[in-house]
């Protein structure tokens, strides 16, 4: 048996293409060989130029792969790829499918059960870090699946991601990604609220964006508060109660001032008002009666 891990990659879009390109450039050093498939011809040609082999179909690629990475857009496309893969001659035991797309929470377990009928292992392994992280190999890969399936895909993920987390059983990677992205897009929405406030105050919102990116790089942004291993109410006098007590005081003061400015300028800031109400109990302080 060859020591080379045969990797197939389906889906060469905005994030899939740089992921596959990174694999192509590290085939020899990482003990991998790479085959690719996409409905679009241009990205396939680019990957072939980078050293990958082209396949005529997802099923044909799966039949000659040990690990098949699937980076398509949505549940429907993931299911279509898996249906084709499982119907292909030569596909069976020895193949592990890694679903990198972000899908519905129940989808990975359904797909794992379907794949198991053909002896195929499956993990959900969504990634975080965008196209830039994909190109540099600095993604975070969030994996749900059995220990055996995780071990099978780990050498591939180690090339693609600087942080690989085995989040738990099948579906855990997807739930991990959804929690992360919920915060991501809620923060984006808060940013639009701050832009409206700044604009109404006559400020340069491009400069505001530069300040936010600068200071978030120093403080860690929202992730800076995410060190506790529980969301339960904190014990008075504990380390985090004391640490977050200072944060709570500053946050409530600044939110009160920002909301007052918004009222003065007639700017609607519902997220700021909700933050003023929910930040303290969210941190673990008791609800105010």
Residues tagged active-site: 177
Distance of CA 263 to the CA centre of its chain: 37
Q: Which of 83, 86, 40, 47 is nearest to 63 (CA)?
A: 86
Q: Which of 41, 37, 25, 103 is nearest to 65 (CA)?
A: 37
Helix (H) or strand (E) holding 7: strand 5-10
For 41-110, the DSSP string reads HHHHHHHHHTTPEE-S-HHHHHHT-SEEEE--SSHHHHHHHHHHHHHSTT--TT-EEEE-S---TTHHHH
Residue 238 vs residues 226, 227, 228, 242, 250: alpha-carbon distances, Å: 16, 14, 12, 6, 19
Q: For residue 225, what are its two tokens?
A: 């508060």
Angle 276-278-284 from CA coordinates, rounded to 5°: 120
Distance of CA 147 to the CA centre of its chain: 20
DSSP 125: -
Question: CA 203, CA 223: separation in Å to the nearest integer?
Answer: 27
Q: For residue 164, what are its two tokens?
A: 């690989």
Q: For residue 264, what are its two tokens?
A: 């003065």
């Amino acid at each position: 048996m060859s020591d080379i891990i045969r990797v197939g990659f389906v889906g060469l879009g905005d994030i899939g293409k740089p992921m596959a390109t990174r694999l192509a450039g590290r085939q020899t050093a990482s003990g991998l060989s790479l085959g690719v498939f996409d409905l679009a011809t241009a990205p396939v040609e680019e990957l072939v130029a980078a050293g990958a082999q082209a396949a005529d179909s997802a099923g044909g690629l799966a039949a000659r792969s040990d690990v098949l990475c699937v980076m398509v857009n949505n549940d429907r496309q993931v299911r279509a790829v898996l249906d084709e893969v499982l119907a292909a001659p030569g596909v069976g035991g020895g193949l592990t499918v890694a679903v990198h797309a972000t899908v519905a929470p129940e989808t990975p377990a359904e797909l794992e059960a379907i794949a198991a009928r053909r002896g195929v292992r499956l993990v959900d392994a969504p990634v975080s870090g965008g196209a830039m992280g994909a190109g540099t190999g600095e993604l975070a890969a969030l994996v749900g699946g059995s220990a055996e399936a995780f071990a099978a895909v780990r050498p591939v993920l180690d090339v693609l991601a600087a942080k690989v987390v085995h989040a738990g059983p099948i579906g855990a990677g997807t739930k991990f990604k959804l929690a992360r992205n919920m915060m991501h897009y809620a923060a984006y929405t808060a940013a639009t609220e701050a832009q409206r406030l700044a604009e109404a105050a006559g400020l340069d919102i491009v400069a505001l964006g530069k300040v936010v990116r600068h200071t978030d790089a120093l403080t860690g942004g929202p992730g800076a508060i995410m060190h506790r291993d529980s969301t339960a109410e904190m014990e008075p006098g504990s380390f985090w109660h004391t640490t977050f007590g200072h944060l709570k005081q500053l946050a409530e003061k600044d939110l009160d001032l920002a909301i007052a400015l918004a009222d003065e300028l007639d700017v609607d800031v519902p997220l700021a008002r909700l933050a003023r109400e929910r930040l303290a109990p969210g941190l673990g302080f008791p609800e105010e009666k």
